Structure 1
């Protein structure tokens, strides 16, 4: 397994993700003297820490597949034999997809995993399905996936 790209979410996005766990912590204080308040506060605090520390977009290559991951929320596995092409492209997450994070089909078509920046790895399947993942080093990720494609053919 090789991590080709690991790009953390922008601090603003991480703070937005913290709003839910923060509300759980606040509401748990109303129940705090009771046992239910303790476990709610524990879960809310754990989720709050996770939302501050973990969120990232990763491109991970294994021997036979490429994983596009929005840590800790979402992941998709694309087998090497199911990749028609891989290129480095410019993407405008806000204009083309309506924001950052995991975004579905849009005017550009496909699925976007965006943490920050505008450079992305574009993976196309033979059926035309497109996946985009922002990366700080798109050339390295594309080169590694191309090497894996060449080795399989």
Structure 2
């Protein structure tokens, strides 16, 4: 099943995440296409090979609703991206949505995905959005821990059923 989470952005200001020395949060730029695709591919490799390429990421960045400042990355002192998230803003309705969000497999469990999520929510809040949404599949145990740690609450589930034919 899929799990859907919501978090109010209207309650109080979201502080900038505290990071270990040498790490910094910023948004991805056109100069980062290869590095940004690499961190996505690494993060999602646990589920199988990712189909993202520089070309389809470039197309995503060209979408009219794409806001480069909501494409948040966490990088180390050497410039290697460790985690990322893309936030999508529906300014008409005041809602932001995260999709996708990931962390390098060798960097999990250190709060890096939490840092990019909080930074993304902080940026959404600065744009006047009042609610943030995110979803995950029930098998993604790390996400099921991450989202509540960022203040999200589960608001719905979608169950999928399969019937074997023949």
Bin the TM-score by the shorter chain: under 0.3
**Greater share of helix:** 1
Which TM-score applies when normalising by structure 2? 0.24
Which TM-score applies when normalising by structure 1? 0.25
Larger Rg: 1
Of structures 1 and 2, the one scoring higher in RCO (CA 8 A, sep 6+) is 2
